[in-house]
Structure 1
């Protein structure tokens, strides 16, 4: 009988969820969880782990040291789309494939981006706060400048599954849509523009690109200054792409008239951070992709990859260029 695969599931995914997910393969898998949620607990659990479901929060990041602590590691599955909590290069150097659940939350995140854009254009959160406080700010609201979304020039940074779906939805509303990505997409319905040109012509900028060494700080103070005066920003990517301090400065200068932020450089956002009290910021706790359907999509894709790994079939959505055929060490 083949020895069961030892699979390590990292928090915050709960044990009951993981056991339910892997129940059909209980005889082929030996599930373990770290004894403590710290680096020592992670490294101890990695010593004989073959398959790992990673920690999407990054608290137990699979960095180069963690990869080195896992001599039997054969496959890493991320419970989401982002891969900034795992060291792709360190895994590739060991010929360990890493996979995400690409596309699982694309519709959910794209819909959030459109909803947030509507909220910014009409100051919905600001109006709600004012009315709840006893006011009736009809004239004040008009003085702030209300907009119709279809008249905004939308620029999308990134054209993966989320960026492409967001482009489609904004275009369906009648907005002119352009995009920039690291690779030009010949089949894209939106118009490609160089990054600086995109920013200069975007009334509404949507960030939907992965966080990598190349994209960290990509939309910094210099690039934010290229936006038209009074532009709007929607960030469904990662906080490090548009540094929080630079976004705040652009808001305070008026370059940005509003921002909808689902992500931040440090999460949770510090309780005293000035973004929390800025009148023209819509805040969200990194939940743009958090719908029942997207979670079902994610769990299904994870389960299918784990099944493929232990059944000798190639896994899908490998993101670090390694052969998708899983091999025991």
Structure 2
């Protein structure tokens, strides 16, 4: 029997239900505790593993060393920044993600957040709950009249560009590789910032993109620009966002991601009037979650059948064989 270590932070009864179709072909092993010791214990005899989308149990070099039989790590998300890809590749472990599963969900969140910032939905809601009637104070703006700049033109960036363009926005983008079929004009990053009323960050986190949009680049934005971040915390450092808001360079920010998650109690972002907060849930629509589950189960089943798996991100052959 194959052994599958499932590191998902879900109740055991939910995991039993999700993995029931594989129960005749594989044993599902859960960590005895939600800590590194429990993670390593679950990985000790695992042939396959389903990662932890919270990042609480990262697949770092120590976790890889604790999993001598592992041949596939299936991440239940698009991002693989909690994985030590070098260590996994050196150990012969293929790493697969669920590319495309939450593309529409995240892109729609980005557009919805831009609407909310333009029309000050959250601010007006708070004022009314306090007993106010700020009808003459809102002075919102129409989204179609905004210049939208998108940082990163992967699946999410491309879908967001298509949706913003459909609304009537002028769309520009930057990516490390310009795209022939892109919606909108390619601009170098600094020019993109200087001409974006709404900046949408959708680029993957990597050593090259960590701190990519710091104080100097935020200072390039037009006055009263809006920021929407659906990428990862650290690409636009939290302190840089706060400074830009306090200086007035940013009129508002919608943040689904943060350098530290969850935000610690008392963090200044929690009380900032011009910030719309979301708990890293842009991709958590019901449709996206079903897509993720479907892709995870399809890849696990493919391994058991001896067929190629999809969306391998670390360059190993997609046909995974048991050691």
TM-score by length of 1: 0.96
CA shift for structure 1 position 83:
0.9
Q: Does 1:295 align with 2:292?
A: no
The counterpart of 2:262, out of the listed 263, 268, 287, is: 268
Tell me the distance in 1 between the aligned counterparts of 2:76 and 2:10. Answer: 9
User: For residue 159 of structure 2, what is the aligned residue in structure 1?
Assistant: 165
Aligned to 2:234, what secondary structure does the other structure show? helix
Q: Note the alpha carbon deviations across 1:274-316, whole angstroms, 9 max, x for none.
A: 1111111001111111111111111111110100011111100
Segments of 4+ in structure 1 off by > 4 A? none
Could you state the TM-score of these two structures normalised by the residue count of structure 2? Answer: 0.97
> Counterparts of 1:125-140 in structure 2 under 5 Å?
125-140=122-137
Deviations 1:39-90 (A, max 9, x none): 1111222111110000111111000111122111100001111111111121
Q: Aligned-pair RMSD on alpha carbons?
A: 1.1
The whole-number CA distance in structure 1 between the counterparts of 2:36 and 2:312 is: 26
Structure 1 position 29, deviation (Å): 0.5
Residue correspondences, number: 323
Unaligned runs of 5+ in 1: none
Determine the C-alpha separation between the residues in 1 that align with 2:85 and 2:232. 17
Q: Is 1:29 the equivalent of 2:23?
A: no
Aligned residue in 2 for 1:196:
190
Give the 3-state SS of the residue equivalent to 1:239 in structure 2.
Answer: coil
Find the aligned partners of 1:90 and 1:7 in 2 and give their Cα distance: 20
After superposition, the C-alpha distances for 1:147-198 in whole angstroms (9 at most, x for unaligned) are 1101111011111111111000000000011111122222212211111111
Distance (Å, rounded) in 1 between the aligned partners of 2:61 and 2:153: 29
2:53 is the counterpart of 1:65: no
Residue number in structure 2 paired with 1:242: 236
The separation in 2 between residues aligned to 1:248 and 1:161, in whole angstroms, is: 28
Query: Displacement of 1:131 after TM fit?
Result: 1.3
1:15 aligned onto 2:12: yes
The SS at the match of 1:43 is helix
Distance 1:22 1:288 in 2: 25
Of the candidates 96, 117, 120, which is equivalent to residue 120 of structure 1? Answer: 117
For residues 225-236 of structure 1, the aligned pairs below 5 Å read 225-236=219-230
After superposition, give the CA deviation of every residue in 1:224-269 in whole Å (9 maximum; x if it has no partner).
1111111100011111111101100000001100000011111111
Question: 135, 138, 142: which is aligned to 1:141?
Answer: 138
